[in-house]
Structure 1
Amino acid sequence: MKLLSLLAALPLSVLSAEKPNIVLIYADDIGFGDVSINGATAVRTPAIDRIAKEGINFTAGYCTSATCTPSRFSMLTGKYAFRQQGTGILPGDAALIIDPAQPNLPATLKKGGYRTGVVGKWHLGLGPKGGPDWNGTIKPSPNEIGFDFSHIMAATGDRVPCVYVEDGKVVNLDPADPIEVSYGKPIDGEKTGVTHRSELTMDWSHGHNNAIVNGIGRIGHMKGGAKALWRDEDMADHFTGQAVRFIRESKEQPFFLYFALHDIHVPRVPHPRFVGKTTMGPRGDAIVQTDWQVGEILKVLDELKLAENTLILFSSDNGPVLDDGYKDDAVTKLGDHKPAGPFRGGKYSSFEGGTRVCTMLRWPARVKPGKTSAALVSQTDFPKTFAAIAGVEAGFPDSLDQSAALLGESETGRDHVIQQAGRLSIRMGDWKFIPGGKGERKNQKTGTELGNEAAGQLFDLSKDPGETKNLAKEHPEKVEELKKKLAAVR
Structure 2
Amino acid sequence: MQKQLVHISVMTLFLLTAPVACKKDKKGEQYPEKPNIVIIYTDDLGYGDVSCYGAQKIQTPNIDRLAKEGVKFTSGYASSATCTPSRYALLTGSYPWRNKKAKILPGTAPLLIDTAQQTLPEMLRKAGYYTGIVGKWHLGLGTGNVDWNGHISPGPNEVGFDYSFIMAATQDRVPTVYIENGNVVGLDPEDPIAVSYKENFPGEPTGLENPEMLRMKWHHGHNNSIVNGIPRIGFMKGGDQARWIDEDMADRFLEKAQSYVRGHKDSPFFLYYAMQQPHVPRTPHPRFAGTTGLGPRGDVIAEADWCIGEFLKTLEEEGVLENTLIVFTSDNGPVLNDGYYDDAVEKLGDHKPAGRLRGGKYSLFEGGTRVPFITYWKGRISPQVSDALVCQMDLLKSVSRLVGGETTGTDSRDMLDEFLGQNTKGRETLVLEANGRTAIRMRNWVMIPPYEGPGISRNVNIETGNADSYQLYDLKMDIGQWENLAKTYPDTLKQMITRLDSIKKN
The two structures have a TM-score, normalised by structure 1, of: 0.97
Which residue pairs with 1:412 in the alignment? 425
Q: CA deviation at 1:365?
A: 3.8
Name the SS for the 2:48 alignment partner: helix
Q: 1:218-256: per-residue Cα shift (whole Å, max 9, x none)?
A: 000000000000000000000000000101001010100
What percent identity do the matched residue pairs reach? 54
Q: 1:285 is paired with a residue of what secondary structure?
A: helix
Kindly indicate whether residue 79 of structure 2 is the aligned counterpart of residue 57 of structure 1: no
* Aligned AA (1:36): S
Cα distance in structure 2, aligned partners of 1:83 and 1:277: 42
Residue 6 of structure 2 corresponds to which residue in structure 1? none
- How far apart, in 2, do the equivalents of 1:413 and 1:109 lie? 23
Correspondent of 1:340 among 354, 378, 388: 354
Aligned-pair CA distance for 1:131? 3.7
> Is 1:114 aligned with 2:129?
yes
- 1:229 and 1:305 mapped to 2: Cα distance? 35
Counterpart in the other structure of 1:455: 469
The alignment status of 1:206 with 2:220, answered yes or no, reads: yes
CA contact (8 A) 1:92 1:161 kept: yes
Counterpart of 1:222 (choices 200, 222, 236) is 236
Give the equivalent residue in structure 2 for 1:441.
455
Cα RMSD after superposing both structures: 1.4
Partners in 2 of 1:82 and 1:37 — Cα distance?
Answer: 31
Deviation of 1:295 after TM superposition, in Å, equals: 0.7
> Which residue is 1:35 aligned to?
50
Q: Distance in 2 between matches of 1:277 and 1:389?
A: 41
Over 3 Å counting, the alpha-carbon distance change for 1:188 and 1:86 in structure 2 is: same
2:498 and 2:175 mapped to 1: Cα distance? Answer: 44
Distance between the aligned counterparts of 2:176 and 2:87, measured in 1? 20
Contact 2:24–2:30 under 8 Å retained in 1: no
Partner of 1:241: 255
Q: 2:10 maps to which residue?
A: none
CA deviations 1:6-25 (Å, max 9, x no partner) are: x9997566874331101100
Once residues 57 and 198 of structure 1 are traced to their aligned partners in structure 2, the CA distance between those partners, rounded to angstroms, is: 47
User: How many Å separate the matches in 1 of 2:135 and 2:361?
Assistant: 20
Match of 2:278 among 248, 253, 264: 264
- Which residue of structure 2 lines up, in the alignment, with residue 393 of structure 1? 406
Aligned amino acid, residue 392 of structure 2: Q
In the alignment, what sits opposite 1:316? 330
Aligned to 1:351: 365
Given the superposition, is the C-alpha separation of residues 136 and 14 from structure 1 closer, same or farther in structure 2, using an over 3 Å criterion? farther
| Equivalent residue pairs, number | 482
Give the gaps of 5 or more residues in structure 1.
1-6
Q: Distance in 2 between matches of 1:132 and 1:82?
A: 26
Counterpart Cα distance in 2 of 1:396 and 1:132: 31
Distance 1:245 1:9 in 2: 31
Distance 2:487 2:141 in 1: 47
In the alignment, structure 2 segments of 5+ residues that lack a partner are: 1-21
- Separation in structure 1 between the aligned mates of residue 379 and residue 111 of structure 2, nearest angstrom: 37
Match of 1:372 in 2: 385
Q: Which shows bigger deviation, 16-25 or 80-89?
A: 16-25
1:178 and 2:230 correspond: no
**Which residue in the other structure is 2:89 paired with?**
74
Query: Judging changes above 3 Å, is the alpha-carbon distance between structure 1 residues 13 and 86 closer, same or farther for their aligned structure 2 residues?
Result: farther
SS of the residue corresponding to residue 378 of structure 2 reads: coil
Contact 1:309 1:365 in 2 (8 A): no
Residues 110 and 365 of structure 1: is their aligned pair in 2 closer, same or farther, counting only changes over 3 Å?
Answer: farther
Q: 1:104 aligns with which of 119, 130, 136?
A: 119
Match of 1:151 among 165, 168, 174: 165
Secondary structure, in 3 states, of the residue corresponding to 1:488? helix
- Tell me if the contact between 1:344 and 1:467 (Cα under 8 Å) persists in the aligned partners: yes
- SS of the equivalent of 1:59 reads strand
1:4 aligns to what?
Answer: none
Indicate the structure (1 or 2) with the bigger Cα radius of gyration. 2
Q: CA offsets, 1:405-436, max 9 Å, x none?
A: 11111111101111101410011111000001
Identify the residue that residue 3 of structure 1 maps to in structure 2. Answer: none
Within 1, Cα distance between the matches of 2:25 and 2:202?
Answer: 60
SS of 2:32's equivalent in the other structure is: coil
Indicate conservation of the 8 Å contact 1:321/1:446, yes or no.
yes
Q: Report the TM-score, using the length of structure 2 for normalisation.
A: 0.94
Contact 1:383-1:396 within 8 A present in 2 as well:
no
